[in-house]
Amino acid sequence: MAEHSYQKIVELIRAKIDSGEYRPNDNIPSEKMLCEMTGIGRSTVRKGLSVLVNDGLLYAVQGKGYYVCEPKKGEFLLYFNETSAIETSAESVKVIGVDIISPDAEMTAILDLPPNRQTVLIKRLISDRDTRIAYDCKYIPYSAKSPIIEQELYKSDFPQMFAKEKSLFDIKKKMRITVGELDGQTAKVLRADEHTPAIIIEQFLYDENAQPIGYGITTFLGKYFKLSAICE
């Protein structure tokens, strides 16, 4: 424990937060004070404090000092892609249609498209062995410059489809999880009754300028859906 000087700073402050001596929004001793209290140099004190800032325990305000954060209570890290709800490794992703369509008003709004801009619609079926699990639709603004390459279509992960064009580090995502029942078309594709419970996962992809670059909607048969998230 605390082999290094900067770790001593981390543990010193962390212990006082854990014990409740420092409460959320309290001002903690300044860098200079901590140097004097511990005999540790300023750069090293700063390194320790930066660890606590990165861990979400402290925030710094220039000219004022360091303060204790409010704990983030409901934060979870979720790993999701279209096949992550399937536990066996026998899943398959089958492309069942690629069309160029004229988007309706809703899709035009979602993708922030100019008038008359067409959209690529990719329809895929996700299965686990012979069991049909989910029906997946991706909408991507049509561009003659960057045609969809067939190989990309089988990538189960949505951002992966853009790997040729964009650095994956620059793609921002949003996701919405809702519950519903299968509609007529989806029920047919999944060979299930209409009104069967379903989970609908929508994904919104944006480029580095917050411009929409894709929309995906994946409808899972409820009984095959499972998702985990963690928070450490």
The binding site for a copy of itself (CB under 8 A) comprises: 14, 17-20, 43, 54-57, 71, 73-81, 84, 157, 159-160, 167-170, 172-181, 197-199, 220, 222-223, 225-232
Nearer to DNA, 42 or 94 (CB): 42
What is the nearest approach in angstroms of DNA to the Cβ of residue 52?
12
Comparing CA positions, the residue from 12, 44, 227 lying closest to residue 134 is 227
Nearer to DNA, 41 or 97 (CB): 41
Residue 119 burial (C-beta neighbours within 10 Å; 0-12, 13-18, 19+): buried
Amino acid at 101: I
In the numeric block, which tokens belong to residue 150?
Answer: 């067939």
What's the angle, vertex CA 169, arms to CA 163 and CA 173, rounded to 5? 90
Binding mask 38-77 for DNA (x = CB under 7 A): -xxxxxx-xx------------xxxxxxx-----------
Total residues contacting DNA by CB under 7 A comes to 23
The torsion of the CA quartet 161, 164, 167, 171, rounded to 10 degrees, works out to -30
Nearer to DNA, 33 or 96 (CB): 33
* Partner from DNA, a copy of itself, none binding residue 187, C-beta < 5-8 Å depending on class: none
Span interacting with DNA, options 37-45, 112-120, 155-163, 187-195, rule CB under 7 A? 37-45
Contact 96, 116 (CB under 8 A): no
* Partner from DNA, a copy of itself, none binding residue 66, C-beta < 5-8 Å depending on class: DNA
SS3 of 87-122:
CCCCEEEEEEEEEEECCCHHHHHHCCCCCCCCEEEE
Nearer to DNA, 65 or 180 (CB): 65
* Partner from a copy of itself, DNA, none binding residue 71, C-beta < 5-8 Å depending on class: a copy of itself
Nearer to a copy of itself, 95 or 229 (CB): 229
* Partner from a copy of itself, DNA, none binding residue 61, C-beta < 5-8 Å depending on class: DNA
Distance CA(42)–CA(5), nearest Å, equals 11
The residues facing 219 across adjacent strands are: 135, 200
Which residues, including other chains, have CB under 8 Å from residue 230's CB and lie 6 or more apart?
A: 76, 77
Kindly list the residues in this chain that would bind DNA in the complex (CB under 7 A): 4-7, 30-33, 39-44, 46-47, 60-66
